[in-house]
């Protein structure tokens, strides 16, 4: 699976995913494209397609950003997570859920719940 990290996600998330064996992890914050708008990020997510991991609430709008057009959207909802908390939340989710359970769907993660729709 190819993963796109929005720049509002901890940059250390990219290292963790690569170490976990995800071969193609594209972190916007690592590139000259920093500061991309939502539409540009969405077009990139759909182009490969990528699983988009973000903390940007705008990507939860299925009318504007339909997760079926990419590998899915993983939205990290909680506001006051440390980078380590954020990384562990994503690690636990990816370890517990096979890709086919969330491919093309919206996933909302918070410390107390996981919602896949």
Q: Which two tokens stand for residue 73?
A: 């959207």
Q: What is the DSSP letter of 37?
A: -
Q: Hey, is 43 helix, strand or coil?
A: helix
Determine the pLDDT at residue 31: 82
**DSSP of 51-108:** EEEE--GGGG-TTTS-GGGSSEEEEE--SS--HHHHHHHHHHHHHHS-HHHHTTSEEE
Question: Rounded mean pLDDT of 3-22?
Answer: 94
At 25 the three-state DSSP class reads strand
What is the distance between the alpha carbons of residues 117 and 107, in angstroms, rounded to a whole number?
A: 6
How far is 25 from 74, CA to CA, in rounded Å? 14
For the entire predicted model, the pTM comes to 0.95
Q: For the domain with range 2-116, which CATH number is right: 1.10.10, 3.40.50, 3.40.600, 2.40.50?
A: 3.40.50
- Mind listing the pLDDT tens digit for each residue in 20-71? 999 899 999 998 777 889 999 999 999 999 999 999 999 999 999 999 999 9
Domain layout of the chain by residue ranges? 2-116
């Amino acid at each position: 699976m190819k993963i796109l990290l929005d720049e509002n996600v901890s940059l250390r998330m990219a290292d963790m995913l690569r170490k976990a064996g995800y071969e193609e992890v594209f972190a916007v914050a690592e590139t000259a494209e920093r500061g991309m708008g939502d539409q540009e990020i969405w077009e990139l997510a759909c182009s490969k397609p990528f699983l988009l991991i973000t903390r940007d609430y705008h990507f939860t709008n299925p009318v504007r950003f339909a997760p079926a057009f990419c590998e899915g959207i993983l939205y990290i909802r909680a506001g006051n997570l440390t980078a380590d908390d954020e990384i562990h939340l994503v690690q636990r989710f990816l370890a517990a859920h096979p890709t086919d359970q969330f491919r093309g769907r919206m996933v909302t993660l918070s410390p107390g719940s996981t919602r896949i729709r």
